[in-house]
Chains A and B, each alone.
Chain A
Amino acid sequence: MTVATMTDWTRARRQPGWLARLFDHKPFLIFMCLLPALGLLLVFLTYPLGLGLWLSLTDTKIGGAGKFVGLDNFEYLMEDPQFWSAVFFSVFYTGVATFGKFALGLWLALLLNNHVPFKSLLRAIILLPWIVPTVLSALAFWWLYDPQFSIFSYLAVDVLHIRSKPFDFLSTVWPARWSLVAANIWRGIPFVAISLLAGLQTISPSLYEAALLDGSTAWQRFRFITFPLLMPILAIVMTFSIIFTFTDFQLVYAITRGGPLNSTHLMATLAFQRGISGGELGEGAAIAVAMIPFLVGATLFSYFALARRKWQQGEAND
């Protein structure tokens, strides 16, 4: 007697066509999905960056094409006191403003982390300086700092009679610099505060409870729990903040246009004045390209130094 074998009832699967196989091919799929993003980056980021680098090596003017001059623009900038003044002020502005923003932003985030009445309303309100278009707040500060019409001068001189002359905010070098730093800090606090607040919310309250049970002070809780656990967020926010502040243009341009005697020129505003208003595109591009090392340095610092795994997990450095 023969054993009946089960015949195969499953229909023969049709082999997929070459197109379907292509789209199933993982590397190809990855490439296709990345193509739109890469395309945008290439067109709007890589090309202008490359063009800027190229322009910085030529003597192009707005009026017409230029020829390759090598490092001539950079050599000139090395000897140019205005350029070094802009570099100094860019670093000073970024350093002081970032420190101020983080100190005050962190403080504000810690305050808002507690349960206060109207918490949501307060959080929305403190976002306002960041949301208002920079140009508008810059113009408002321009009025606040005006040599004749400042409201601070009006209060001090005409109302309270504690001064005889109006305040000099923008007419001399250092007051102008500090005034701009103050305006930048005012504008930047919300970004830092809200970001750090988000980070604070992720810290488990049980850690604080444990610390309280062990009899820690508020400062010890901050130093050993809050700060280490906040490090990753701090690194990211600081990177962004430094980049935004270093490349700031609107605030300085709208308030002082580079200020009394070029003293409040940032590299970005100087590049604009030289390149576009002055027509010297090659030189303007060179100043803009000179910003790159600083930005790369800041990013690398934030990435490597602040985001170390041990710091992230709250352990001590060994």
Chain B
Amino acid sequence: MVYIIKRREALKLGAGAAAIMAAGQASAQAIPKADVAAPKLDIEKGASLRLIRPAKFVEPDEVIFRANSAKFAKEFGVDVKVDLVGWEDITQQTAVSANTGAGPDVIIGWAESPHIYADKVLELTDIAEYLGKKYGGWLFLGEKYGKKAKTNNWIGLPMGGSGGPLVYRASALKEAGHDKIPSDHAGFLKLCQALKKINKPAGFALGNAVGDANGFANWMLWSHGATLVDEEGKVTLNSKETINALKYVKELYPSFIPGTMSWNDISNNRAYASKELFLTSNGVSLYFSLKNDPATKEVADDTEHANLVQGVASSPPMSATVLNGMVLKHTKFPNAAKAYLAFMMEAEQYDPWLTGCLGYWAHPLKAYDKSKVWESDPKIAIYRNTMDNRFWTGYKGPITQAAGTVQAEYILVQMFASVASGQATPEDAAKEAERRTKRYYR
């Protein structure tokens, strides 16, 4: 994307970034660090790095990331070129780069990418273990997405994850006669029905919304104890737990705001910000945008967050959209690339980025639990444990491209949507979804 930045704006951006960095240095002291020696990485002479990563979702994301990269460039004398790519395109660009052996040296892509191209990326075990030892260990999803399956070798360096817990208007809940979100399905159903009665409905995307709809479908599946595949990758979708989940959604759907079948990712943000929607699930970006806009500040003040209803799951049934850094084997400067990734995860760089994004990309290393950002606003504390969620896309199977395809084809979303709209019975919907999933897991 091309931005025409006028000089004043450039100075403001620079000043803003510098201010954040300066403040960040101070708060970075709060992160507990163990005394661990960094791995010896001889930066190649005349090294220069090209990097691609997903485009910003919140404004400070890009500003601070670029400032950190510039800092690395200055400290180590390595030229770093950062390109931000659209979210839908980065997987394809990763594929092209991995297959042709040309292109960026470092790619910060989505969670599955290092696993799909496991033989085309460098091992990052040395910097991963160093970071883990220094910063109190890796959280669950960090290890899950970082390590190659069934081994202890790191092929990716997870840099942050965005979750989707419940976001709701506390005043609406009180008016409906509840003071917090119930922890069981029956209670949640009653809550949604009560909200509908007072004309302050809930709503979750059931259309082709990449993040929100898949998040809702996964939540319903996992909280009823159903899984897509088992550990070996055999499809286990057509089970009685899935049927229970489908029956539940069929009862829940009439209490939603009308139109959720055609929602895409921003529809629930829009409806919530314009006070038509009172309970939904989203990342911290919704609260972030409401807080910063004076017109919607009162909505932000009334907003609370809560974990998704757990049902029979043993932990909050949600996963995360994870940024996974990888170094491609074709790079001419492997040490510089590894040093760059490690540098970006160090507290002096990572904490300002984490704080500036208000925790949008939640941390994968335990020590950052102590980051000031989680204390700055008690409402976002729920996002702190995003990378510790015990579920992942394609749970409980291996991390492969098939899991990504199931998500991109909205198989689970359409399974729930067809039952909610009355187009199919739960049994038929489950069977059809199983047929389609089997095709991709073949």
Give me the interface of A with B, judged by CB distance under 8 Å. Answer: 61-65, 76, 81-82, 146-149, 165-166, 168-173, 176, 256-262, 273-274, 276-280
Chain B interface size range = 35 or more
Known: A176-B262, A260-B261. A279 touches B405 (CB 8 A): yes
Contacts A/B (CB < 8 Å), 30 sampled: A62-B92, A62-B95, A63-B95, A63-B401, A64-B99, A147-B258, A148-B259, A148-B276, A149-B270, A165-B258, A166-B258, A170-B259, A171-B207, A256-B207, A257-B207, A257-B208, A259-B262, A261-B417, A261-B421, A262-B414, A273-B408, A274-B409, A277-B88, A277-B409, A278-B404, A278-B405, A279-B91, A279-B95, A279-B404, A279-B405
| Residues of chain B lying within 8 A (CB to CB) of residue A276 | 92
| Residues of chain A lying within 8 A (CB to CB) of residue B414 | 261-262
Question: Smallest Cβ distance from A116 to chain B, in angstroms?
Answer: 40
Inter-chain contact A171/B261, CB cutoff 8 Å: yes
Q: Which residues in window 199-218 of B have CB below 8 A to A?
A: 207-208
| Residues of chain B lying within 8 A (CB to CB) of residue A280 | 405, 440
Mark each residue of chain B from 390 to 428: 1 if its CB lies under 8 Å from any CB of chain A, else 0: 000000000001001100110000100110010100000
Tell me what chain B mostly uses at the interface: helix, strand, loop, or mixed: helix
| Residues of chain B lying within 8 A (CB to CB) of residue A63 | 95, 98-99, 116-117, 401
> In whole angstroms, how far apart are the Cα atoms of A64 and B42 in the complex?
33
Cβ 8 A contact of B408, one of A146, A173, A176, A278: A278
> In whole angstroms, how far apart are the Cα atoms of A274 and B404 in the complex?
11
Inter-chain contact B262/A256, CB cutoff 8 Å: yes
> In whole angstroms, how far apart are the Cα atoms of A16 and B258 in the complex?
82
Tell me whether B79 is interfacial, beta carbon within 8 Å: no
| Residues of chain B lying within 8 A (CB to CB) of residue A171 | 207, 258-262
> In whole angstroms, how far apart are the Cα atoms of A147 and B414 in the complex?
19
Known: A61-B401, A279-B401. A261 touches B259 (CB 8 A): no
Question: Smallest Cβ distance from B398 to chain A, in angstroms?
Answer: 14
Cβ 8 A contact of B208, one of A65, A149, A258: A258
> In whole angstroms, how far apart are the Cα atoms of A256 and B267 in the complex?
12
Cβ 8 A contact of A273, one of B91, B270, B409: B409
| Residues of chain B lying within 8 A (CB to CB) of residue A62 | 91-92, 95, 401
Cβ 8 A contact of A172, one of B116, B271, B404, B421: B421
> In whole angstroms, how far apart are the Cα atoms of A61 and B263 in the complex?
28
Question: Smallest Cβ distance from A287 to chain B, in angstroms?
Answer: 13
| Residues of chain A lying within 8 A (CB to CB) of residue B95 | 62-63, 279
Chain B residue nearest to A76 in the complex (CB): B439
| Residues of chain B lying within 8 A (CB to CB) of residue A277 | 88, 408-409
Residue in A63, A176, A278 with the greatest tally of chain B CB atoms within 10 Å: A63
